[in-house]
Amino acid sequence: MHTQPEQPDLITWQHFEQTDIRVGTIVEAHDFPEARRPAYQLLVDLGPLGLKKSSAQVTTLYTREELLGRQVLCVTNLGKKQIGKFMSEVLVTGFENENGDIVLAQPAATVPNGAKLK
């Protein structure tokens, strides 16, 4: 029996434009042993937006050293989120692979930090 693919809820173009997704470069990565699920504490350089902190559950596929200098896509306008004693300021985005591990969303080529996804 053929099932229909899951369809996402539609949003307006105006709603999409309200989501501020920017590229930034990871400049620091630290272990986050207090997190409930394994994670790193990241510091991301978002160019004109400054340095922002984020917690990222990417410890399975990335070492701290591999993260340094890597550009990633961040949602910058979700507001701050308290994670234990750590205040996350942006959401670093990614996709689940077949094992449920997070693969970071990245630009295919280097772009200026702070560039907005269009």
Report pLDDT for 17: 87
Q: Which residues contact 34 (CB under 8 A, 6 or more apart)?
A: 84, 85, 86
Q: Is the residue at 115 inside a domain?
A: no
Q: Which CATH number covers residue 82?
A: 2.40.50.140
The answer to whether residue 52 is domain-embedded is yes
Give the chain's mean pLDDT.
Answer: 94
Is residue 27 situated within a structural domain? yes
Q: Which residue has better confidence, 113 or 7?
A: 113
- Residue 53 included in any domain: yes
Which are the contacts of 115, defined by CB distance < 8 A and separation ≥ 6? 22, 23, 47
Three-state DSSP class for residue 45: strand
Range of the domain at 32: 19-104
Classify residue 54: in a domain, yes or no. Answer: yes
- Tell whether 77 is covered by a domain: yes
DSSP string of 92-112?
A: E-EEE-TTSPEEEP--SS---
Average pLDDT over residues 35-61: 96
pLDDT tens-digit readout, 59-116: 999 999 999 999 999 999 999 999 888 999 999 999 999 999 999 999 999 999 999 9
- Which strand (E) or helix (H) includes residue 14? helix 13-18
Q: What is the pTM of this model?
A: 0.90
Is 113 contained in some domain?
A: no
pLDDT at residue 84 in the model? 86
**74, 24 Cβ separation under 8 angstroms:** yes
**How many domains does the chain divide into?**
1
Residue 24 lies in a domain: yes
